[in-house]
Amino acid sequence: MIKLKRVVIAGTIRSDVGLPKGIELLLQGNKAIDAVEETIKIVEDNLDDWTVGTGGLANLLGEVELDASMMDGTTLKAGAVAGVRKHKNPISIARKVLELTPHVLLVGEFADLFADVIGFPQSELLTENAKAIYNDFLKKKKIETYPYDNEKTMKLKERYFKSFKKMVENNDLMSWYEKYAKEKHGTVNVIGRDIRGNICSGVSTSGLSFKFPGRAGDSPLIGAGNYADSRYGAATCVGVGEIAIRLSLARIAVYELSKGKSVEEAAICAIKMIKDLEPKAGTLSILVMDKEGNVASAANFRDYQFWIADSLDPIPRKKECIFVDLKEKEDIGVGYHR
Ligand code: ASP
């Protein structure tokens, strides 16, 4: 007879709108993958959230591009999509990639095409609010202003090409981006553990606002922004995705769990690795769950929280992330190989 495990679901700060549904599904005995998908779908559909799904902020061309991934920690199967522009729930497309294809990652127009084939309806992702924020960005940030109009897309692309070509020629592109574009961003991370002890992790985002068109972050990259292995646990990231990609952070955290580290140690260890990058690499947080359903989160910035709900306390509770001060000289004892 299978011994039933404690069910747990944890998520990043704006996951609270979906977690009650997630914990309900787990308590009813549903699979972790169902609870994670349903929780994230609610967050993706929340129009007040400008970092995920409909309502997400646009790229430099004024188009919303969504990234998402799911990993099933028991089969080690993963599915992901990057640059989705026509479908509102990339997490569900990622799940279909996991379940129906031999692949892990589909990108751009072909990710949308796959969603069409599956039968997911198309929808507009750019809300009036996100459009207004984008237009404001254009006015303030030295790209010529123009009224947003789909029919003028070609014109917009020509302008984009012209402005950026000029910046490249003047060796200005990087500093322009640093100064004007790197503004708002965020992601939803959800990790669930079901009654059988299966762990599933899901991540969904509209990525960095005003990103270069075609830029994929860490969220759809297995090992970078998302990793799950039910034998040890799972980890997911929020923040400047390039950091998690360059350091393979989610995989590192799960590797630390496999060596017997606690969730706190694994999370701190992953964040400490950012020390190896240039000082202004950016901010990042990691959410870690171990195979028993213990959860911790760490970040290289202060005042960040996550949510957790479990069988004993199904009302989501907010918890503080551990702040890791990367300027601190003394070793706090859980460094990664150096
Ligand atoms: N990690 C996301 C990305 O880089 C953004 C974020 O979490 O803030 O696309």
Which of 213 and 178 is assigned the larger pLDDT?
A: 213
- Decide if 163 is inside a domain: no
Cβ–ligand 1 contact at 285 (below 6 Å):
no
Write the residue with the smallest CA distance to atom 1 of ligand 1.
241
Cα separation, 204 vs 106, whole angstroms: 14
- Decide if 50 is inside a domain: yes
Q: State the distance from the centre of ligand 1 to the C-alpha of 304, rounded, in angstroms.
A: 15
Which region among 28-42, 127-141, 276-290 has the lowest average model confidence (pLDDT)?
Answer: 127-141
Q: State the distance from the centre of ligand 1 to the C-alpha of 109, rounded, in angstroms.
A: 21
Winning range, highest mean pLDDT, from 162-176, 276-290, 323-337? 276-290
Cβ–ligand 1 contact at 207 (below 6 Å):
yes
- Decide if 201 is inside a domain: yes
Which of 259 and 157 is assigned the larger pLDDT?
A: 259
Q: How confident is the model at residue 296, as a pLDDT? A: 98
Other CB atoms closer than 10 Å to residue 213's CB: what's the count? 16
Which of 330 and 211 is assigned the larger pLDDT?
A: 211
Confidence of residue 145 (pLDDT cuts 50, 70, 90): very low
Which of 278 and 119 is assigned the larger pLDDT?
A: 119
Q: Which long-range contacts (CB under 8 A, 24 or more apart) does 111-115 make?
A: 111/81, 111/82, 111/83, 111/84, 112/84, 112/85, 112/86, 112/87, 114/81, 115/81, 115/84, 115/86, 115/87
Cβ–ligand 1 contact at 56 (below 6 Å):
no
Q: State the distance from the centre of ligand 1 to the C-alpha of 244, rounded, in angstroms.
A: 9
Which atom of ligand 1 is the closest one to the Cα of 217? 9
Q: What order do you get walking across the sheet with 199-205 strand by strand?
A: 105-107, 77-84, 66-72, 199-205, 187-193, 8-12, 305-310, 317-320
Q: Residues 51-86: pLDDT tens digits?
A: 999 999 999 888 999 999 999 999 999 999 999 999
Stretch 116-126: mean pLDDT, rounded? 97
Cβ–ligand 1 contact at 12 (below 6 Å):
no
| DSSP secondary structure code for residue 14 in this structure | G
Q: Residues 152-205: pLDDT tens digits?
A: 555 667 777 777 777 788 787 777 777 766 667 889 999 999 999 999 999 999
- Decide if 127 is inside a domain: no
For 16, 184, 243, 282, 334, the CA distances from 279, given in Å and listed in that order, are 32, 20, 12, 8, 20
Q: How confident is the model at residue 137, as a pLDDT? A: 80
Q: State the average pLDDT for the chain.
A: 90
Taking CA 67 as the corner, what is the angle to CA 66 and CA 70, rounded to the nearest 5 degrees? 135
> SS3 for 15?
helix
Which atom of ligand 1 is the closest one to the Cα of 207? 9
Tally of structural domains, the chain: 1
Confidence of residue 338 (pLDDT cuts 50, 70, 90): very low
Decide if 69 contacts 223 (C-beta within 8 A): no
Which of 92 and 208 is assigned the larger pLDDT?
A: 92
Cβ–ligand 1 contact at 49 (below 6 Å):
no
Decide if 311 contacts 6 (C-beta within 8 A): yes
Q: What DSSP line would sit under 197-245, residue for residue? A: --EEEEEEE--STTPPTT---STTSBTTTEEEETTTEEEEEEE-HHHHH
| DSSP secondary structure code for residue 307 in this structure | E
Q: How confident is the model at residue 153, as a pLDDT? A: 57
Q: State the distance from the centre of ligand 1 to the C-alpha of 259, rounded, in angstroms.
A: 28
Q: Is 187 a catalytic residue?
A: yes
Does residue 143 have a pLDDT over 90?
Answer: no
- Decide if 143 is inside a domain: no
Ligand 1 pocket, mutate which of 15, 65, 219 (most atoms under 8 A from CB):
219
* Full domain range(s) for residue 17: 8-122+183-323
Cβ–ligand 1 contact at 238 (below 6 Å):
yes
What is the percent of the chain where pLDDT is above 70?
Answer: 90
Does residue 146 have a pLDDT over 50?
Answer: no
Cβ–ligand 1 contact at 185 (below 6 Å):
yes
Confidence of residue 335 (pLDDT cuts 50, 70, 90): very low
Q: Which position among 39, 51, 74, 187 bears the catalytic label?
A: 187
Q: What CATH number is attached to the domain comprising 90?
A: 3.60.20.30
